Amino acid sequence: MNAPANTNSLLERAPVMIRDWIIGFFPESLRWPVGALLAIAAMLAVFGLVFAFLTLAERKLLGRAQNRPGPNRSGLPFFRGTKLFGLTQPFADAVKMLTKEDIVPRAADHLLHFLAPVLVVAFALMTFAVIPYGRQLVAVDIDAGVLYFFAAGAATELAIFMAGWASHNKYSLIGAMRALAQLISYELPLLLSVVPVVMLAGTLSPTKIVEAQANVPGGLIPHWHVFTPWGAVGFAIFMVAALAEANRSPFDLPEGESELVAGHLTEYSGFKYALFFMAEYFGMIGLTGMGATLFLGGWQAPCAFLEFIPSYLWFGVKMLSLILFMMWIRATLLRLRIDQLTRLAWKFLVPLALINLGTAAFWSRTDSWSGPLQFVRWAIALALIVVPFVVIGRRLTAGLAPRTYRYAT
């Protein structure tokens, strides 16, 4: 990594310095566990708050997209008439969730019914461990971090199935089944879209992948994976699959409220429901964080002269814009049917992701091409992307569009 002087600014080093300062109070033997606990506490605090305000942001954004003002009522207790644009809404929601009655159906498997919300949050939190949030900010820097991330992420679906099974309710069970079908369908394109990154960076460690996307000194164009042909496609596939993995609209079939009451959430109330809600947002945070790490250069600034802004802020900006994009999609798209969902995965995303592997291989083979050959390289790579996209898209939509309406105009 080429580190100019400004990357060592005080703000950049602040989180690590604070950690070292606190650890300094403890004897040598206790330093490692205390450091780990500090990382956990910091992560819980930061992402807890981020989660709280994301729920508000989502409701505001959905409201605005539907020409409504969104929640703007909640003020401060004891100060009647204050409104603060509804900024205290998450805390009011938390109080409401905590004080609600916790109903467990008599027929439910009590142990699993209790374990499911705990596990779903635990697995979602586990994914946070390997994401590099800043230059030195990664809780656990393991070599196979990417692998670990997707293993822990897929386990959340297991907890969702647990919830559906333990509830002893047909809607819950159907929701859980859908969650599994979705998992099997979308885990494949998700992983296939990541493989080129691992191939070209030559490592499974998220920190090293971020370093592979470091800026060329003085360069103005970010050296991120998303700005290569295979990276752009991989990123698009990753985002679609991440939406499905996080059970976000338009792939929120497991909890499709119009047909399944609330799917696996039907029998959950009060704080257990809040935990599932939290896990959904944590899953979203984790996946977008990983997406930013793999394709958007992680904590790297877009160009060298912007590196005076601390790296963790760049990471936050990237992650939040990806999350906002997911919310924007939720405001726009309708929920798919289960057969459409699996068809999209198996017949469209998986072939494209496989072809993308070839594109990535071509791209890495032709790394030495320069001058006019650069144009040839781009042309071939783009052709490798656009042609399959159009051909597969045509074949998939053949006979489906445009739809003719018999009674409506």
Q: By the criterion CB under 8 A, which residues form the site for another protein?
A: 61, 64-69, 328-329, 331-333, 389-390, 393-394, 396-397
Smallest Cα–Cα separation from 252: which of 348, 316, 330, 315? Answer: 330
Minimum distance from CB of 349 to another protein (Å)? 12
CB of 69 to another protein, least distance (A): 6
When computed from its CA atoms, the radius of gyration of the chain, rounded to whole angstroms, is 23
Select from 297, 204, 197, 189 the least CA-distant residue to 239. 189
Q: Which one, 179 or 242, has the nearer CB to another protein?
A: 242
Q: Tell me how far apart the alpha carbons of residues 180 and 160 are, in angstroms, rounded to a whole number.
A: 9
d(CA 173, CA 358): 39
Nearer of residues 98 and 396 to another protein, judged by Cβ: 396
Pairwise CA distance, residues 159 & 176, whole Å: 9
CB of 334 to another protein, least distance (A): 9
Q: Which residue number, 59 or 272, has a Cβ lying nearer to another protein?
A: 59
* CB 296, CB 318: distance < 8 Å: yes
Instruction: Give the pair of three-digit tokens for residue 377.
Output: 């390289």
How many other CB atoms are found less than 10 A from the CB of residue 374? 11
Q: Which is nearer to another protein, 53 or 389 (CB)?
A: 389
Nearest CB to another protein, comparing residues 37 and 84: 84
Which residue's CB is nearer to another protein, number 202 or number 393? 393
Least Cβ distance, residue 276 to another protein (angstroms): 26
Min. distance of Cβ 237 from another protein in angstroms?
13
Residue closer to another protein (CB basis): 60 or 264 = 60
Give min distance, CB of 389 to another protein, in A.
Answer: 7
CA distance 320 to 313: 10
User: How near is the Cβ of 393 to another protein at its closest, in Å?
Assistant: 3
Backbone angles phi, psi at 222, to 5 degrees: -60, 140
- DSSP reduced 3-state for 147: helix
Q: In sequence order, which residues have a C-beta less than 8 Å from that of residue 269 and are 6 or more positions away?
A: 100, 101, 102, 103
